[in-house]
């Protein structure tokens, strides 16, 4: 099969995407596929000829137009098969306030939140207790994120987040454990627990070797595992995701779990969270990539 791997791009997560793309390219070659690597840093229009020449596009982009629905929509308009969620689900999941609202409506717990739009002043009177998480509404990899411990820190945190997005999400911080569930097809994979060296799983901890410990399968009660996994699949379906996603949660001291966000194009290096989960389920990295490709072929 001839596969084009989209990677890089011009989002704030470009370097992460390049790492994912290189790993996917290597795996596809090991699987015997013919591969062309495409970096849409200068847009997609000059890649049309290449895109129309392949059997499948593996979308290895992170953030920006690759993940917010624009590029999935473009590929869809060309009639090209591609991995990952469609344009509508991508847009919904990239917009954290929208995905949280849809999940909340289904009575699934998610931390209390409010949003600050471009021309809004920073709210000093709100009902959410400190500490808070302040982050861009449509970025990944914890880019632009701050933990805010008191009111004096709120305005600088919003200003920082506004460097990356017009809309800023202010969310209640849930102390406890960070866990994530990979969903492939509509099947949940083993839960990964993330234990960073910092208080939060920030950009440095995500992408600096030795800064985070990962436990997979996470050491949790079996009934709790089942409940978290089932909820992850419910959210994956509710938001219209397809092929694969990663659903992130916080687990508080009472073992109540709280939905944070869905990643429709999670990191796909051999040490990323979805591959770690797949490894625990007995899948090698190339087998995981082929499984995602098969999902795209069949759906």
Mean pLDDT for the stretch of residues 21-50: 96
271 DSSP assignment:
T
Please state, as a whole number, how many other Cβ atoms lie within 10 Å of the Cβ of residue 286. 18
The residue assigned the tokens 């790492």 is 19
**What's the CA gap between 241 and 99, in Å, rounded?**
12
What was the pLDDT predicted at 220? 97
Cα separation, 14 vs 184, in Å, equals: 24
- Report, as an integer, the average pLDDT of 197-216: 71
Query: Of 207, 214, 240, 284, which is the active-site residue?
Result: 207
- Mean residue pLDDT of the chain comes to 93
pLDDT at 208: 64
Pairing status of strand 34-38 against strand 2-6 = parallel
pLDDT of 236 > 60? The answer is: yes
Q: Which of 17, 19, 263, 272 is catalytic?
A: 263
Q: Which residues contact 234 (CB under 8 A, 6 or more apart)?
A: 106, 108
Known catalytic membership, residue 13: yes
Residue of 7, 99, 261, 277 marked catalytic:
261
Structure tokens at 53: 């020449």
Catalytic residue among 8, 60, 69, 267: 267
- Total Cβ atoms within 10 A of residue 239: 21
User: pLDDT tens digit string along 278-294?
Assistant: 999 999 999 999 999 99
Q: Is residue 17 annotated as a catalytic residue, yes or no?
A: no
Ordered structural domains, the chain, with CATH: 2-83 (3.40.50.20), 92-108+174-298 (3.30.470.20), 113-172 (3.30.1490.20)
State the catalytic residue, choosing from 8, 11, 13, 63: 13
Per-residue pLDDT tens over the stretch 73-89 = 999 999 999 999 999 99
Residue 188: enclosing H or E segment and its boundaries?
A: strand 187-188
Number of helices (H) and strands (E) in the chain: give both, helices first.
Answer: 11, 13
Euclidean distance between CA atoms 293 and 299, whole angstroms? 10
Say how far apart CA 51 and CA 57 lie, in whole Å: 7
Cα 68 to Cα 54, 63, 89, 287, distances in angstroms = 23, 7, 9, 27
Residue 64 banded pLDDT, cuts 50, 70, 90: confident
Among candidate residues 242, 248, 250, 277, the one labeled active-site is 248
Q: Is 34 a catalytic residue?
A: no
Confidence band for 141, pLDDT divided at 50, 70 and 90: low
Confidence of residue 12 (pLDDT cuts 50, 70, 90): confident
176 touches 45 (CB < 8 A) = no
Please indicate whether residue 248 is annotated as part of the active site: yes
- Closest residue by Cα to residue 143 from 270, 275, 272, 14: 14
Active-site annotation holder among 246, 250, 272, 277: 246
What Rg do the C-alpha atoms of the chain give, in angstroms? 19
Q: Average the pLDDT over each of 8-22, 52-66, 118-132, 260-274 and give the range with the smallest value.
A: 118-132
Query: Which one from 141, 245, 272, 277 is the annotated catalytic residue?
Result: 141
The helix (run of H) or strand (run of E) holding residue 98 is helix 96-105
Is 141 an active-site residue? yes
pLDDT of residue 6: 98
Q: Residue 293 burial by CB count (10 A; 0-12/13-18/19+): exposed, middle or buried? A: buried
Q: For residue 59, is pLDDT > 90?
A: yes
Q: Given a cut of 80, is residue 209 above it in pLDDT?
A: no
Annotated catalytic, 267?
yes
Tens of pLDDT along 155-204?
999 999 999 889 999 999 999 999 999 999 999 999 999 997 766 665 66
pLDDT of 252 above 60: yes
Q: How confident is the model at residue 271 (pLDDT cuts 50, 70, 90)?
A: confident
Calculate what percentage of the chain has a pLDDT beyond 90: 82
């Amino acid at each position: 099969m001839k596969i084009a791997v989209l990677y890089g791009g011009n989002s704030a997560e470009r370097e992460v995407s390049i790492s994912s793309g290189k790993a996917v390219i290597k795996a596809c070659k090991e699987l015997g596929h013919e591969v062309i690597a495409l970096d849409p840093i200068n847009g997609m229009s000059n890649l049309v000829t290449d895109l129309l020449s392949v059997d499948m596009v593996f979308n290895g982009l992170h953030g920006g137009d690759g993940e917010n629905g624009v590029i999935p929509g473009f590929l869809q308009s060309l009639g090209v098969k591609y991995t990952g969620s469609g344009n509508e689900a991508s847009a919904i999941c990239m917009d954290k306030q929208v995905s949280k609202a849809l999940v909340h409506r289904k009575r699934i717990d998610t931390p209390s939140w409010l949003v600050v739009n471009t021309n809004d002043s920073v709210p000093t009177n709100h009902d959410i207790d400190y500490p808070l998480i302040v982050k861009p509404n449509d970025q990944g990899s914890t880019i632009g994120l701050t933990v805010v411990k008191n009111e004096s820190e709120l305005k600088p945190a919003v200003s920082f987040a506004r460097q990356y997005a017009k809309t800023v999400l202010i969310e209640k911080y849930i102390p406890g454990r960070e866990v994530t569930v990979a969903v492939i097809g509509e099947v949940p994979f083993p839960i990964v627990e993330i234990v960073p060296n910092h208080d939060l799983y920030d950009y440095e901890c995500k992408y600096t070797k030795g800064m985070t410990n990962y436990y997979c399968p996470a050491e949790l009660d079996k009934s709790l595992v089942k409940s978290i996994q089932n909820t992850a699949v419910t959210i994956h379906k509710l938001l219209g995701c397809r092929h694969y996603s990663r659903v992130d949660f916080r687990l508080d001291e009472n073992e109540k779990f709280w939905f944070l966000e869905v990643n429709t194009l999670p990191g796909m290096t051999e040490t990323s969270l979805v591959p770690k989960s797949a490894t625990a389920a007995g899948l090698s990295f190339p087998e995981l990539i082929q499984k995602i490709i098969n999902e795209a072929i069949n759906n």
